[in-house]
Structure formats: C-alpha cells, structure tokens
Structure 1
C-alpha cells in the first residue's frame, strides 16, 4: 500500500451529509425569541460545528429575566427541530458518491457533535443508515470538536490508522478536530455558508464533482 492510499472516508453531518445549518438557526432563533433574545449572525457563526453549553448559556444571559438551560431546552423541544420536523435530504450526489466508494471496499463513517437520537432519526428519514460502518455522535464523547476525540473513536472502531482516512468537514472546528486526529481533510463548501477552511488539505464544492480531487488518494 502506498503511503497516501486511503481506505476510510469519514463525514461530519451538519452541512456535509445534509444542509441543516439554516434550519437549525431558524429553530434556535424561534426558541430564543420566546425569551426576548435575538440571535445575531456573529453569534450564530460561533455555534456552527460546536456542541458547547457555555455558548448557549451566554446567549441566555442576554435575557432581561433569568432563564435556566433546562427552561430553554424544554422550549426547544416544544418548538421542534430540523432532524424530526423539517424536510431532510442528503447533499446532491452524496448517496451515489458513498455507494461508489463502498463498492470499492472503502469503509465510511460519521463523526458529529449532534446527539445520537437526532442523527439516527435523520439518517432513517433519508434511508441512509446502511451506508455507514460507524457513527460517532456528540453524546458519545466527553470532549467536543475541535477536540479530536470523536474522530479518534471512529478510527479505533474501524481499525483505521489516521493516515488512511479522508474526512469531509465544513467548519473550522471540525477541520481542526480532523487534522488533530491525523486525517487528510477535504473542506466541503456545498452548504452555502462561507467559513474559514484554510486549514483543510483540499476543498470541494460538490460531491458530484469531487471524484477527480480524491481518486488518486483512494486505495
């Protein structure tokens, strides 16, 4: 095997598997508005790719009356969420992309900061559960991205060495997590949200067009 040959492809979920970021922001804004809190674009950008309760606590501190994290979480459950209540579709070309490489013996996985329950619901709604050998979600880890823990867990379960993995990520924290885990990182830019992808190894605009950029890396 050549040093650069890859045998595993790992994906972030939000903004990579499905274009959920705009819908997630909509539901978050609705919940915050119940407590007279406005979400700015800058605040929203800081949340992308992260699962950090301290960031939500900071938003709640903007309310004129004290709002606990439990109260806010209950309100969010009442309002709904992208994964259960919105239209869910995989990114264009993604399913055929995954199937093509799985037919070549490549194993695939998901590493996301979103909770297991919501990811499983979303994958089932999109009929994609059978396309992944491993799924690591935010509540399976003690440390969230940009920490590499999630990617290292996925690699361990797959029996993969870091240098054998390609990771598709869309956010700076996700890219940093994958790079810290030792993987080759392709920044996916198809979600329509501009982010800092400078630390990625390559960038791709679409799963319909990225074969040429990665085919030389695949075993």
Structure 2
C-alpha cells in the first residue's frame, strides 16, 4: 500500500530508468558490443539480466575475472557508452513531470543527489544535455564507490555528502537491486515502473509507492 506520511529532507535519484527512460538503448549497446565485438554468444534477454552495477562488474559476470586488462575494460566501457549516447541522444528527455518535480523540491529546500552506477561520462551526458546540473547538490557515480548496488555504499555516500541522515532520505529507483541498496542504507524508496513489474519488488518493505512518472499525485504529499 502506498504511504503518504513520510516527509523527507533529501531526494536521492538513480539515473538510468529512473530519471530518463533509456534502458533499451543501454541493452542495445551492450548486446552489440558483447556479441559483435567480444564474440560471446548470448541472448538479448540474458544481457538485460546482467545490466546492473558497474560496467566492469558486468564484464566479470559474463567473462570471468581477469579476462580483460584494466585498459581493455576501460576501452570497452567507453565504446559501449558512445554507442548508447549516439542512439539515445535524439530522444534524450527527462521522465514526464521530473523537471517540475526537481524545481519544486529545490524551491522547498529539499536537498537532491544522484546515486548511480553510471560512469561520469554518462552522467555528464544527461545532466549537461538536459541542463539540470544546478538542481543537484552532489553526485555519486561508479567511480566514487568500491561496491555498486545492491551494496548500500552509493546511497550512504550521497547522504553523507548532503549532511542528511539516511532515514530522512527518499530514494527513487527502478530496479530491485537499487531498492535493495536503499533498504540496506536504511532509506525509504519510490519505484518507477519503467523497467520491472511490481511483483519483482514483493520482498521489500521500504517501498512507499509505485509511480509511472513524476506527475503521480502521490508525490505532492512529499512537500
């Protein structure tokens, strides 16, 4: 059941699938890189299942430890992101209602952060491409943590940087491992239903509600 009683002091946003609806473009880029460039015979559906955490973690899950040198991992990662950005750029846009939601939060004095497993190259692509960087007080990227989601480090680091207690934060996420990360950080969460079905979140007790976008009336109760 959706909860409208909690009044937060900070909003922490995942990026891909949460602020922008771009996961298909990531899956397309990863599948083409992995099958065409790296020669692994894997289905599109199985690639999508591995799309969480850092790029290097995905490569380890698919190819094993030490299959690529650190330089090779970096080059593969950058090439994948360039393919993603090239195809997604023509339709780059915030989720419906998000710009107004960010502006209202800023006016209300709610602090905001991005906590993402994306590399800075992709985060900058979104923030600068959509000119929304001034809304955010801090950014935690893949380069800022040792362990990515579902480890809580991403969201804990964001809360520390904002100077807000974890229990006073609300996380916006779209995947179960992100919700798990928020739960382990001691944070409540709203789930964007962009990439996963509600049934996939049944095991979590930190979810305040499910929203299709940021125009959902339930969000008005947060201010």
Regarding TM over 0.5, the answer is yes
The reply to whether residue 47 of structure 1 matches residue 56 of structure 2 is no
- Note the residue ranges of structure 2 that are not aligned, 5 or more in a row: none
CA shift, 1:81, in A, is 3.3
Deviations 1:34-91 (A, max 9, x none): 2332432442343233226344234346xxxxx6355465355446232465322111
Aligned to 1:188: 192
Aligned to 1:21: 23
Alignment of 1:1-219 (within 5 A): 4-32=6-34, 33-51=36-54, 53-60=56-63, 68=68, 70-71=71-72, 73-75=74-76, 77-78=78-79, 80-83=82-85, 86-87=88-89, 88-189=92-193, 191-194=194-197, 196-198=200-202, 199=204, 200-209=207-216, 212-218=217-223
**How far apart, CA to CA, are the structure 1 residues paired with 2:146 and 2:73?**
22
* TM-score after normalising by structure 1: 0.84
Moved over 6 A (4+): none
CA shift, 1:120, in A, is 1.4
- Note the residue ranges of structure 1 that are not aligned, 5 or more in a row: 62-66
**How far apart, CA to CA, are the structure 1 residues paired with 2:168 and 2:51?**
27
**Paired positions, count:** 209
* TM-score after normalising by structure 2: 0.82
